Amino acid sequence: MELSTYQKAPLTHAQHISQSQQRGLQFSDQAKSEMHLKTIGYYRLSAYFFPFIDRSSQNRNHGFIADTHFQQILDLYIDLLFYHARLHCYVVIELKLGTSLKTKREPEYAGKLNFYINAIDKQLCKKGDAPTIGILRCKSKDKWVAEYALNGINNPMGVSEHPLTQALPDELQGNLPSIALLEQSGAEHE
């Protein structure tokens, strides 16, 4: 068996956006979209394209359904998804480390997490799997806002506070990004 060399050159983020626009995907802010592609990665995010691909017989170039916006794809993107082997269930973790959940947006985050849980339960869970668990991780939380945001949601879901520490072990000091950089990156991702 003879090995062949892969000849296709990699595309830049701007070229991925241009290619997606040619296929019908709409972008409201190219610079922000490039930042999302840089953070997430085009190929990782492309798995979330599938619900928006036009599968009609006339469209064979992986074109998007009319009026599909990049933000719709980002809205489907799950920060972390795990399968818990002992509990036999998926665990969805939504990270909001750049934000304090003492704001009016917390109910929006709970609704988004509930959407993810329902999508995973319908699309990925198999017979014998327990219901998907959702965890919303944030820098700080307000007990009352969290209670009202989660009230009436029947899926197993919780809000978890994640206090950031300033102390790093000496051997990690120069090898990890600063907390300020992580917070900035987390805020840009939202």
**Helix, coil or strand: residue 94:** strand
Residues 117-129 have a mean pLDDT of 87
Indicate the pairing of strand 133-141 with strand 89-101: parallel
Helix axes 106-123, 143-150, angle to 10 degrees: 40
pLDDT tens figures, 18-49: 999 999 999 999 999 999 999 888 888 888 88
* Residue 126 scores a pLDDT above 50: yes
Calculate what percentage of the chain has a pLDDT beyond 90.
20
Global confidence as pTM: 0.55
Domain spans of the chain?
12-77, 78-190
| pLDDT for the residue 55 | 75
> What is the arrangement of strands in the sheet containing 80-84, beginning at the earlier edge strand?
80-84, 89-101, 133-141, 157-161
Q: Could you count the other beta carbons within 10 Å of the beta carbon of residue 150?
A: 19
Tokens 């879901």 — which residue? 157
